[in-house]
Amino acid sequence: VCRRSSGSGLQATLRDVGGYSEDGDRTEREISRLKARDEVTFDAFCHLRDAERTFVFYNVERAIRLSTGEVLHDLRPLVGIAPLPARPAGYLARAARKAFAGTQAEKAALRKKQRRELKAHYRLDPVWDLYKARLHASFGDHCFRCGAARSLNMTPYVPLAWGGALVPGNIHVLCPKCLAAKGDQQPEDFYSAEEISRLEPILAGQVGLMSFQWTWKRWNTSRHEQEVYVRELGVPDEIVTKMFHDPTYLDYVPDSD
Ligand SMILES: [Zn+2]
Question: Per residue of the chain (257 residues), what is the pLDDT tens digit?
Answer: 223 333 344 455 555 545 544 444 444 555 555 555 444 444 444 445 444 333 434 344 456 665 676 666 666 666 555 665 555 445 566 667 788 888 989 999 999 999 999 999 999 999 999 999 999 999 999 999 999 999 999 999 999 998 889 999 999 999 999 999 999 999 989 999 889 989 988 998 898 899 999 999 999 999 999 999 999 999 999 999 999 999 999 999 988 65
84 and 57 Cβ atoms separated by less than 8 Å: no
The rounded Å distance from CA 185 to ligand 1 centre is 15
Give how far Cα 155 sits from Cα of 43, 69, 110, 115, 229, Å: 31, 23, 13, 9, 30
The rounded Å distance from CA 164 to ligand 1 centre is 20
Q: DSSP string spanning 168-227? A: TTSEEEE-HHHHHHHTT--HHHHS-HHHHHHHHHHHHTHHHHT-----HHHHSS-HHHHH
The rounded Å distance from CA 96 to ligand 1 centre is 28
Q: How far apart are CA 58 and CA 74, in angstroms?
A: 9
The rounded Å distance from CA 182 to ligand 1 centre is 10
The rounded Å distance from CA 189 to ligand 1 centre is 16
pLDDT value of position 43: 45
The rounded Å distance from CA 236 to ligand 1 centre is 30
180 and 148 Cβ atoms separated by less than 8 Å: no
The rounded Å distance from CA 139 to ligand 1 centre is 12
The rounded Å distance from CA 205 to ligand 1 centre is 22
Cα end-to-end span (Å), the chain: 42
The rounded Å distance from CA 180 to ligand 1 centre is 9
Q: What is the DSSP letter of 84?
A: P
The alpha carbon of 196 is separated from its chain's Cα centroid by a whole number of angstroms, namely: 23
pTM: 0.64
Spatial strand order of the sheet with 26-35 comes to: 2-7, 10-16, 26-35, 41-49, 60-64, 71-72
Write out the residues surrounding ion ligand 1, Cβ under 5 A: 143, 145-146, 148, 175, 178
Closest CA to 203 of 115, 143, 160, 139: 139
The rounded Å distance from CA 145 to ligand 1 centre is 5
Q: How far apart are CA 182 and CA 210, in angstroms?
A: 24
